[in-house]
Structure 1
């Protein structure tokens, strides 16, 4: 039986985890940009595991989607509301930031690789269709490849809503079976097949893990919230250390997807059974995580270039370099929050009356 009312309680710890995932990605991209612009590491590459924030985001997305929309499955009258909510969540702020970057790229003083920015690639970038990640990094928003996977997950959920369960469940099961088979190398998809590698990529399993966590949370009385949090934190830390030293070669779904699932399920269960107070600023960063995610790379990349022109010797001053790195992480996060407060949130409010009617 479902232990939750149809009107879903907002889980503040889940928002905090979204903020954590965003900060992890900002940290690892700071190192990547330092390597690119300064040929130096940021803080001894300690935050190289920060790319796991993507795995964390995918698990969180799967959890949130099923937690919020599980009652919409099999009810095609809910599809208009679902699609409109998903569209307004992803595209408006993304289009704005992408357009801003493309506009700045037209300036003569702006250095950017535009060799592969033909009309087809531009259309694919704006629609978030599967695209070569090198092209995205050079000419568009490098992080947008993850949004393509997000949209694929929305498409799968759309099938669950519009089709009767006797049809949608076998389709989704077949898709997951193919994805697991690809993950376990049971089938061999050629690397040059961009679409097939996208459709059956192991990243898609992390959405499924999040859905499993939401299903357990919604249908079982889980009393082990804190042990699950400790287990997830321990495994996540172990994987972070392992990724730094390269002791054991593991896929990200094993090393970070599974620990993220324990953390998400543990935090949701712990909050659901306890009257806890989450600091507003932590929830706020989680709310702003999408804007932070979209703008941080652009901010850090350009600020590092400005600093290099003003103070070229910084590449040889390790202490100043690392202080600069943390400062840039803070500035990029702060600007992302500004974008959320003054751009993303007002954009959402424009669509909110239409959401009520959808």
Structure 2
């Protein structure tokens, strides 16, 4: 009989998930304001919110290794791993994508969707890498990040399904090539979509999350608050630099490394002592995936509706910015509703015994 390893529930990670989702909402408020209203949202100060994606990647890397490190080299765990991971990503994504395609085809919601061929639609459904321009104009703009998530699951699946000596050799070579590409030792052709995807710098952020999980699992960290403060400080510097564009820095450095420090510090703190976390914040973290998938649809349509019924509102910047916060809040609420009434029941119906993370 196999030993069941129980992992401590880390509520602060859920809070970080919710925070990352909110940052993305704020960044997309500016993007959608520019598209629909030709106005900036709070002077673009929230544009750094796109770094919520970097935070998500680090969190994902941490959670996968933290939960599945004992499965490495155990091929019997491979099927269970993929079922759990794919169940977490695909069902609600397929629902949202189908709704978007239906709206585009039957209500002319997005005219570009009708221009796509069967292969491009199939790629969108299975999250196979394709042009971000195509995804944004015809499918779900945020789905490009999910392709990296699926790729990371496949890479980690190698560690589970193959003998450690072989799997670690393959993954080490891939990481080495990715890192050398990141630091500019070798360059890939700009039109090489697949190669640029496989060796993309974002993959290093999953690795940073895995490093964080390894550190927390193997070592006691005595200075948790120091790491949390340092991570928050460096993340803030990254946000300031993103706004003022003082120097060109990769998001892996400006946001990925600070995210890793925040994760190591917070999880070490929560493992050492009880940390009270507000239930609302935990709920937002639980709903973060639905929020991530649905907020753009809500913000885009609410903004278009307001512009139609009150076109003069764009003349008052203060009112427009306050309205933008309200619209962002509506996007958050809409995503939470999708989580409660669609995603959660859907996963419970498909796999009632799976514990999703």
2:185 match: secondary structure = coil
In the alignment, the residues of structure 1 paired with residue 19 and residue 116 of structure 2 have an alpha-carbon distance, to the nearest angstrom, of: 33
CA contact (8 A) 2:18 2:285 kept: yes
CA contact (8 A) 1:81 1:355 kept: no
1:113 match: secondary structure = helix
Deviation, structure 1 residue 193 = 0.3
In the alignment, the residues of structure 2 paired with residue 10 and residue 243 of structure 1 have an alpha-carbon distance, to the nearest angstrom, of: 33
2:51 match: secondary structure = helix
Pairing 1:242-321 to 2, within 5 Å after superposition: 242-321=241-320
In the alignment, the residues of structure 1 paired with residue 326 and residue 111 of structure 2 have an alpha-carbon distance, to the nearest angstrom, of: 24
Deviation, structure 1 residue 107 = 3.3
Deviation, structure 1 residue 130 = 0.2
Deviation, structure 1 residue 143 = 0.1
TM-score norm. by structure 2 comes to: 0.97
In the alignment, the residues of structure 1 paired with residue 107 and residue 291 of structure 2 have an alpha-carbon distance, to the nearest angstrom, of: 27
Aligned to 2:78: 79
Deviation, structure 1 residue 316 = 1.4
In the alignment, the residues of structure 2 paired with residue 299 and residue 340 of structure 1 have an alpha-carbon distance, to the nearest angstrom, of: 14
In the alignment, the residues of structure 2 paired with residue 100 and residue 295 of structure 1 have an alpha-carbon distance, to the nearest angstrom, of: 11
In the alignment, the residues of structure 2 paired with residue 111 and residue 103 of structure 1 have an alpha-carbon distance, to the nearest angstrom, of: 10
1:127 aligns with 2:126: yes
Deviation, structure 1 residue 303 = 1.0
Aligned to 2:222: 223
In the alignment, the residues of structure 1 paired with residue 333 and residue 111 of structure 2 have an alpha-carbon distance, to the nearest angstrom, of: 25
Deviation, structure 1 residue 249 = 1.2
Deviation, structure 1 residue 274 = 1.5
Aligned to 1:152: 151
TM-score norm. by structure 1 comes to: 0.96
Aligned to 2:14: 15
1:342 match: secondary structure = helix
> Per-residue displacement from partner, 1:253-311 (whole Å, max 9, x unpaired)?
01000000001111101111121110100000000000000001111111111111101
1:131 match: secondary structure = coil
1:114 match: secondary structure = helix
CA contact (8 A) 2:216 2:268 kept: yes
In the alignment, the residues of structure 1 paired with residue 186 and residue 83 of structure 2 have an alpha-carbon distance, to the nearest angstrom, of: 36
Unpaired runs of 5+ residues, structure 2, are: none
> Per-residue displacement from partner, 1:140-192 (whole Å, max 9, x unpaired)?
00000000000000000110000010100000000000100110111110010
Pairing 1:231-250 to 2, within 5 Å after superposition: 231-250=230-249
Aligned-CA RMSD value? 1.2
In the alignment, the residues of structure 1 paired with residue 137 and residue 182 of structure 2 have an alpha-carbon distance, to the nearest angstrom, of: 28
In the alignment, the residues of structure 1 paired with residue 255 and residue 160 of structure 2 have an alpha-carbon distance, to the nearest angstrom, of: 29
In the alignment, the residues of structure 2 paired with residue 135 and residue 48 of structure 1 have an alpha-carbon distance, to the nearest angstrom, of: 22
In the alignment, the residues of structure 1 paired with residue 77 and residue 188 of structure 2 have an alpha-carbon distance, to the nearest angstrom, of: 35
